[in-house]
Structure formats: C-alpha cells, structure tokens
Homo-oligomer: A and B are copies of this chain.
C-alpha cells in the first residue's frame, strides 16, 4: 500500500483493519506486514530488519498473535545458528490470506465514495 519511491505527496486511502480481542490487537496492519515478511523470508530476524523493528519487538507481536488465535500463527526457532528461523502454520497462512482479502475487497467496494472524497481533497 505504501509507495515510498513516489515523487509527489500523493493522496492515498489505506485500509487499516484492526482485530481487537479485549485489550489486545490480535492483528492489524503492522502485525500482518510482519507475518507476510516472515512468510517471504522464512526468518523473523530478516523480517524485523526489513521493517526496521527490533528483534524483541517482533517477538512481542508474534507472541500476541499466537495468544490471540486458537493455534499459533508460526513456529519459530529461537537462538542457535538459525536464529529467527520461522515458518507460518496453516493458521498463520489463513490469517494472512484472509486479512489481505479483507483489504482488497473493502478497497474495491469503496472506490466510488473514495473518488467523491478525493474531489474534496487538495491536490
């Protein structure tokens, strides 16, 4: 959704769906990006460094996700030579897929309203 290389200050609409479970955020934009990067890199440490996040912070987000769902979102090896090696579980894969579908479907349906809102915004 972010286009950091874009030249001008673009006006953009971002879905930032949040699943709250009591006081916890089970999943939101940051957690799902982390999940996706872990799926891509196979490693928590590679994913956190790409996000500019500390290892402990990434672990904390993973921990909250694991506690929020009926089964863990990923299986991780902590420490050792493969420090941060991690694989998404079926639950993790399903959460990632459903969250991205929620973003995509919601973005599609609101386009007419978004165009109306854009007309009111400064260029």
Contact = CB atoms under 8 A, between A and B. Distances in A.
Interface of A: 9-23, 26, 67-70, 91, 94-95, 98-99, 101-102, 105-106, 108-110, 113-114, 116-117, 120-122
A18 B106 CA distance: 13
A121 B19 contact: yes
A17 to B, nearest CB: 6
A19 B9 contact: no
A68 B122 contact: yes
Contacts of A106: 15, 106, 109-110
B122 A21 contact: yes
A19 B26 contact: no
A120 B69 contact: yes
Contacts of A114: 102
B23 A11 contact: no
